[in-house]
Amino acid sequence: MTTSLNPKFTFDTFVVGAANRLAVTAARTVAESPGSAYNPLFIYSGSGLGKTHLLMAIGAAAKKLASDLNVEYLTLDEYVEAFHAAIAAGQGDAFRRRFQTVDVLLIDDVQFLTNRLEMQAELLRLSEALQAAGRQIVLTSDRTPVDIENLDERLISRFSGGLVVDIGAPDYETRVAILRRKAEERGAEFQPGVLETVAAASFANVRELMGVLNRLVAYQAVNDSPLNAEGAKQLLGIETRASGGHAAVASERTSPDEFAAFLTDVTTTVGKAVEAWRARIAEAILRWEGEGYRTRRLEALLEQETPIAPDEEIAAFARDVERLRVLEAEVSQFDPQAAGQSVFRDPERLAEAEEAATRVRAGAAPPPAPSAALPFSLFAVGSSNQLAVNVAREVIEEPGRRYNPLVFIGKSGVGKSHLLNALGLELARQPGAVVACLSTQAFIDELITALDGNRMEWWRARYRRATALLLDDIHLISGKDRTQEELFNLFNLFQDLERQLVFTAPAHPKTLQGIEQRISSRLEGGLVVELPEPDREVRRVVVQRALGAQEVPDDPALIDYLADRPADSVRSLIGLLQRVVGAAAAQDVPVSAGLAREVLEGGTAAERRRTVGFRTSGIVVSSAGGVRSREKIVWDWGAPADRLIEELR
Amino acid sequence: MSLVNFTTREITCKIVYYGPGRSGKTTNLHYIYGRVPESRRGRMVSLATQTDRTLFFDFLPIDLGQISGFTTRFQLYTVPGQVYYNATRRLVLQGADGVVFVADSQARQLDENLESLQNLQANLLDLSIDIRTMPLSLQYNKQDLPRELILQPVELDDALNFRNVPSFPADALHGNGVFETLKSITELVLRRLAQGAAV
C-alpha cells in the first residue's frame, strides 16, 4: 500500500534555485529534526516542480539520520484507498493505530481532499494524534490549504499552523542547472547554447523540461552530428524569427516571451564569443564561489592572455576544495567554531588549513582508552568462560559486524572488566581505531561536566569519533535520563556505522531496573554472553599467576590446594591467596600448602578466637565496648595495591 | 569602458540608440522595458520634458544573468534627438559598444535622418572613433504608418545604409522589430569579443 521512497529523489539530486530555496531549507530542517521544527510542513506548487521529489527527499534524509524512524510516504489517494479497504475489512482501528505510530508521515497531493468529508475527518484525527505525539507530518498540494475547495476549517488551520511554503517555477539559471545536471546524469553532451536555448524557452514545469531533454538526447543519439542551438530550436518548435533582411512587418505580435528568446540568442552569441577555456574557468569560479570558496587562483587564470588547458587547473582546484571539505568536516566534529574559520574556505591556504586541523586534532582529547594493565594475555581462560572469550575474539576479528552490541554479564569479580578492557586493547590495535573504554560512572561524570561547561557538542564529538565504545557496568545508567538519551543516540550512530559496542552488566539487560525500554531492547539486540563463576582450570591459572607475581616459588601442591578452594569469583580467590601470603610474611615462613591449609581452614590462634564469636552469635562485643556486626566488618583485606587498581578501573 | 572584465567576470554592453528627434528611440526602450522581467531590469531613468521629449537621455540597465560564467549586463541609452543637445549626445556616445540608429520612415523626415546620421559620424570622430569600426544597426521605424507617408525599407536602405549594415523595419510602438534590432546589435557587439577587439 505504501509507496516506497524512490532512491533517486534525494536532496543531493534536487537542484536548488531562488524559487525553491525556502522550501528546500524547510524540508532539510524537518528531515534533520522531525516533529520539532515545522509541524506540519505544507509544500505547495504547480505540477512538476518537485513536490514529490522534496517529499521523498525528506523521507530519505530522515531515515538516513535515524534509521529506526518509521517513515511513511503515500499519496492521498493511496491513503484513502487503504482506509476504505481497512473499513471494509472491519479493521478501521488497526488502520488508525498503524498510522499513529508513524514518526514521519509524508502525504502527497492532499488537494484531492476536496469534498471527501469522511477522509478529512480521518486526517484531522490523525494529524491531531501525530502532532500531539511530536511526530512529523509533511503534506504537499498543488494549492494552498485555503484554496483547497470544501476543506474543513479545522484542517485549514491545522495545515497552516506549521509552515506553508511554495515552490516556484525555476528561473532561467536554475533551468540551465537542472538541464546540465540531467544531461550529465545521462552522459549526454551538447554544444554550447543548446541547453540554454531549451532553458530560455518557457516551460511550465521541470517535468516538461525533462521531456524536452529526453527528445534532445534521443535526437542526438540517432543523428551523427551534434545538435546546435538553432537545430534544437527547430526540433522543439521554439519559434525562430528572421534576424535580418526586409521581412514585411507583421501586423500581429509574435511570441510573448521575446526577452527569453533574446536571452537565448545572447547566450549563444556569448558562448561563441568567449573562448571555451575562459567560459569553463568562469563557470567553475561561479560554482565554487556559490559554495562559499575563495576562487582567486582560478580568477588569476582568467586574466591570462594565452589560452590554457582549464581541465587540469579546475580538477586541481576541485581536489583542494574536496580536501578542505574533509578537513572542515573533521574539525567541526571536534570544534564547530573552529570549522568556521575562513582558512577552510580558501584552497590557496590549504597548507594553513591542514595545520589548523592538526592543531584542533591535537587539542581534542581522545575518549578514555582501555587500561593497558588488563591485556588479553593475562585473562585466565577455562571451559567456564571459553564462550565469552571466543565471542570476544570474533568481535576483534570483525568489529561492529558480528555481535553488536556485545554484553558481558556475570557476578562481580568474574573478570568482566578485564575482558572488556582486553577486548578494547585488541580493538585499539587496529589501524585508525579510536577506542573509548571506560566505566559507566566515568561516562556519566564526563557528561555532567560537559553539560555544566556547556560543551555538549564537544563531548558528543569526542565519542562520535570513536570507532568502538566499551562501557563497564552499564546498569549504572539506571535512572539517568539524560545519559540514556545521549547513549541512545550514540548507540544508533555506532550501529549505523558498524562500529563495535561492548558493555558489561551484573545481570541480563532485561532484568535491569531503571533503564529505558529502547536501550534495554538494544542491549539485547546483539549478543548477551555470561561469564560464569571461575572453574578449577581458571582458578588454577589465576593462582599460578598471582603466586608468580608474588615471587612465590612454584609449588604444585599449593596451587592445587588453592585452586580447589571454593571461590565464586576471581577476586575472592585472590583474596584467599593474599591471606596466605600475608600470614607467611607475618610468621616469616615460606608459603606452602600446609600453611595455606592452616590459614584457610584451621586458622591461627587469633583467628580461631575470632571465628568462635562468629559461630555463636554473629555479633562481636569488642573490648572497646561497641557492638560490631559480623556482616559489616571486613576481616580479610587484600593487598592495598590490588584494591587501588580495582578502584582506578 | 572595457566590454569584458575578466577580473570581475562581467560582460557589460553599452548600446546607444541614436537618431533624429521623434524617431522613436525612447519608444524602443519602453517596449524593451515592458518585456524584460522585473527581476532583470533596473529602473529606467528617463529625463523628459513635459511634452515627453527626451531632455537628457534615457537609461535602461538589463541584467541577463550568468552567461558562460560571466555576469552579463546591457545598458541601453538613448540620446536626445533635437539638434541643440549635441553635447549630451557626444557624452552619451562615450564608451558605447554599439549604436542603433533609429530612423524615421516618414518621407518628409529623410533629411533629418541624414543629418542625424552625419551628426553621429561627426560625434564619433570627435571621440576618435571610426564609424566603420563601431557596430551599427539601422532601424526604420514607423513602418505602420500609411504607405503613402513612408519610404519602404529598400528605399531607406538606398538612402541611409551605404555601409550595408543590418537594417530592420519596425513599429516600435507595438514592438515590431524592436527585439530583432536589439538582437542584431548585440550580436555585432559580442562578435567583436571573439575577434579580441574588446579587451
Instruction: Reply yes or no on whether the pLDDT at A621 is more than 80.
Output: no
Task: Assign A199 a pLDDT band (cuts: 50, 70, 90).
Answer: confident
Q: How confident is the model at residue A81 (pLDDT cuts 50, 70, 90)?
A: confident
Instruction: Report residue B154's pLDDT band, with 50, 70 and 90 as the boundaries.
Output: very high
Burial readout A589-601 (b: 16 or more C-beta within 10 A, e: otherwise): eebbbebbbbbbe
What local confidence, expressed as pLDDT, does residue B156 receive?
94
Which segment of A180-189, A254-263, A281-290, A559-568 scores lowest on mean pLDDT? A254-263
Smallest CA–CA distance from B64 into chain A, residue = A263
Considering the domain A11-167 in this protein, what is its CATH number? 3.40.50.300
Cβ atoms of residues A213 and A198 within 8 Å: yes
Q: Is the pLDDT reported for residue A28 higher than 70? A: yes
CA atoms within 13 A on the CB side of A349: 13
* Mean pLDDT, residues B46-72 taken together: 74
- Comparing C-alpha atoms, which of B45, B87, B31, B65 is closest to residue A267? B65
- Bridge partners, A58 (sequence order): none
Single-letter code of the amino acid located at B65:
G
CB atoms within 10 A of CB A257: 16
Q: Which of B2, B3, B5, B6 to mutate to test the interface with A (most CBs of A within 10 A)?
A: B6
Judged by CB atoms closer than 8 Å, whether chains meet at B72 and A272 is answered as no
C-alpha dihedral (A504, A506, A507, A512), degrees to nearest 10: -90
Q: What is the pLDDT of residue A535?
A: 85
Q: What is the topology classification, in CATH, of domain A376-530?
A: Rossmann fold (3.40.50)
| Nine-digit cell string for B189 | 557587439
What does the pLDDT look like over A577-614, one tens digit per residue? 888 888 888 888 888 888 888 888 765 444 444 444 33
Which among B40, B182, B194 is the nearest to A272, CB-wise? B194
Chain A residues touching B65 at Cβ < 8 A: 172-173, 263
- CB contact B10 to A (< 8 Å): no
CA distance B84 to chain A (A): 33
Q: Residue A254 pLDDT > 50, yes or no?
A: no
Does residue A253 carry a pLDDT above 70?
Answer: no
**pLDDT at residue B76, rounded to an integer:** 92
Distance between CA A577 and CA A572 in Å, rounded? 9
- Residue A632 pLDDT more than 60? no
**Mean pLDDT, rounded, for A326-335:** 78
Cβ pair B70:A270 closer than 8 A: yes
Q: Does A632 touch chain B (CB under 8 A)?
A: no
Q: Measured between beta carbons, which residues in chain A are less than 8 angstroms from residue B194?
A: 272-273
Give pLDDT, residue A314: 87
Residue A399 contacts residue A467 (beta carbons within 8 Å): yes
User: When comparing pLDDT for A196 and A1, which is higher?
Assistant: A196
Q: Are A77 and A112 in contact (CB under 8 A)?
A: yes
Verify whether the Cβ–Cβ distance B175 to A253 is below 8 Å: yes
Identify the weakest region by mean pLDDT among A242-246, A336-340, A457-461: A242-246
Task: Give tens-digit pLDDT for B3-58.
Answer: 777 778 888 889 999 999 899 999 999 999 988 888 888 777 776 655 656 667 78
Query: Is there a contact between B26 and B54 (Cβ–Cβ < 8 Å)?
Result: yes
- CB B11 to CB A270 under 8 A? yes
CA angle centred on A37, ends A34 and A43, rounded to 5°: 85
For residues A184-193, average pLDDT = 80
Structure-model confidence comparison of residues A183 and A201, the more confident one? A183
> What cell numbers appear for A52 in the block?
514529490
Three-state SS string across A176-199, please?
Answer: HHHHHHHHHHCCCCCCCCHHHHHH
Query: How much of chain B exceeds pLDDT 90, in percent?
Result: 52
CATH assignment, A172-242+255-273: 1.10.8.60
Judge whether residue A223 has pLDDT over 80.
no
| C-alpha triplet A444, A449, A454: angle, nearest 5° | 125
Whole-number Cα distances in Å, A509 to A300, A408, A440, A481, A607: 64, 10, 15, 17, 41
Show me where the domains of chain B are located: 4-194
Residue A247, pLDDT score: 37
Beta strand segments in A395-462, E: 406-409, 435-439
Average pLDDT value for residue range A81-100: 86
Instruction: Sketch the domain layout of chain A as residue ranges.
Output: 11-167, 172-242+255-273, 288-363, 376-530, 536-608+636-648
Q: Higher pLDDT residue, A42 or A266? A: A42
Going by pLDDT thresholds of 50, 70 and 90, the confidence category of residue A538 is confident
Dist CA A552 CA A561 (whole Å): 15
What's chain B's average pLDDT?
Answer: 87
Q: Lowest mean pLDDT: which of A182-196, A327-341, A394-408? A: A327-341
Q: Which of residues 277-296 of A touch B (CB under 8 A)?
A: 278-286
Domain range B4-194, its CATH number among 3.30.365.10, 3.40.50.300, 2.30.30.90, 1.20.120.340:
3.40.50.300
Residue pLDDT, tens place only, B87-126: 888 888 998 999 999 999 999 999 999 999 999 999 999 9
Confidence at A364, pLDDT banded by 50, 70, 90: low
Identify the three-state secondary structure at position B190: helix
- Model pTM above 0.90: no
Q: Where is pLDDT greater, at B55 or A437?
A: A437
* For residues A36-54, average pLDDT: 87
A248 touches chain B (CB under 8 A): yes
Scanning every residue of chain A, which has its alpha carbon at the shortest distance from the alpha carbon of B170? A249
Q: What does the alpha-carbon distance between residue B59 and residue B43 come to, in Å, rounded to a whole number?
A: 8
Q: Which of A230, A262, A277 should one mutate to test binding to chain B, selecting the residue with the greatest count of B CBs within 10 A? A: A262
| pLDDT tens by residue, A108-150 | 988 888 888 888 888 888 888 888 888 999 999 988 888 888 8
The region of weakest confidence among A336-345, A445-454, B111-120, B136-145 is: A336-345
Topology of domain A536-608+636-648 in CATH is: Helicase, Ruva Protein; domain 3 (1.10.8)
Alpha-carbon gap, residue A475 to A525, rounded angstroms: 16
Task: Name the pLDDT band for A22 (thresholds 50, 70, 90).
Answer: confident
Q: How confident is the model at residue A485 (pLDDT cuts 50, 70, 90)?
A: confident
- Res B116: pLDDT: 94
Q: H or E segment at A74? A: strand A71-75
Percent of chain A at pLDDT > 70 equals 87
Q: Give the pLDDT score at A86.
A: 87
Residues of B in contact with A269 (CB under 8 A): 186-187, 190-191
Query: Mean pLDDT of all residues in chain A?
Result: 80
Grid coordinates in use for A249? 512587418
pLDDT of residue B177: 93
**Using 50, 70 and 90 to split pLDDT, how confident is the model at A382?**
confident
Compute the CA torsion angle A528, A532, A538, A540 (nearest 10 deg).
170
Residue type at A88 in one-letter notation: A
More confident residue, A207 or B78: B78
Task: Give the pLDDT score at A539.
Answer: 85
pLDDT value of residue A643: 53
Say if residue A242's pLDDT is above 80.
no
Q: What's residue A55's pLDDT?
A: 92
Name the residue in chain A with its Cα closest to that of B12. A270
- Average confidence (pLDDT) over A262-272: 80
- Most confident stretch, A5-9, A278-282, A488-492: A488-492
Average pLDDT of the segment spanning B68-94: 86
